[in-house]
Amino acid sequence: MKTARRSVLKATGLTGMLAALGLSVRQPAFAQSPATQGTGRTAGFAAQTLGDALKHVGGGATITRVDSSQIQLQAPELAENGALVPLSVNSLIPGTTQITLLIEKNPFPLIATFTFPEGTEPSVQTRVKMAQSSQVLAVVKTTQGNESRLYVTTKETRVTLGGCGA
């Protein structure tokens, strides 16, 4: 009986839908965060200038510029396709808890924030859309006790075909 019902569910895709609703067996609850609580994401995502975006990332605190000996930011020198630009960031700064990616000339410069709990390497690779040739920025946040510090490194990437859509 159970098998028949399960196969019917599979056929109609309900199993997948239930899973997507998080109702499958013993999955970790989606940890509480502003995004999932719908109380609003970081306002920085609405910022339309790099300066505004950085203000939200940093909360007004000083952001120290560092070079590749501290933050290894890999971005292509030339991106043929702005819709698919691979980026890689690895922070060598002790106490790194967060890496934020920004693209200076995108319509909304704040691209993503990655938060690393204890035990996770402060390192991430992903692919982004770039509207046009621009500076790519990686901001690293370190937390030691109550103190947070911010560091940034940048790389220039040229784009031949912009990727944000027409």
Question: Are the C-beta atoms of residues 122 and 71 closer than 8 Å to each other?
Answer: no
Q: Which stretch binds another protein (CB under 8 A): 1-9, 57-65, 66-74, 114-122?
A: 114-122
Q: Please report, as residue ranges, which positions from 25 to 84 form the binding site for another protein (by CB under 8 A).
A: 26-28, 30-31, 33, 35-36, 41-42, 45, 83-84
CB closer to another protein, 35 vs 67: 35
Q: What kind and span of H or E run contains 17?
A: helix 14-20
What 3-state class would DSSP assign to 51? helix
Q: Which amino acid is at 67?
A: D
CA–CA distance, 137 with 61 (Å, rounded to integer):
17
Q: Which stretch binds another protein (CB under 8 A): 17-25, 54-62, 67-75, 144-152?
A: 17-25
Should residue 129 be labelled a site residue for another protein when binding is judged by CB under 8 A?
yes
Q: What kind and span of H or E run contains 92?
A: none
Shortest Å, Cβ 42 to another protein = 6
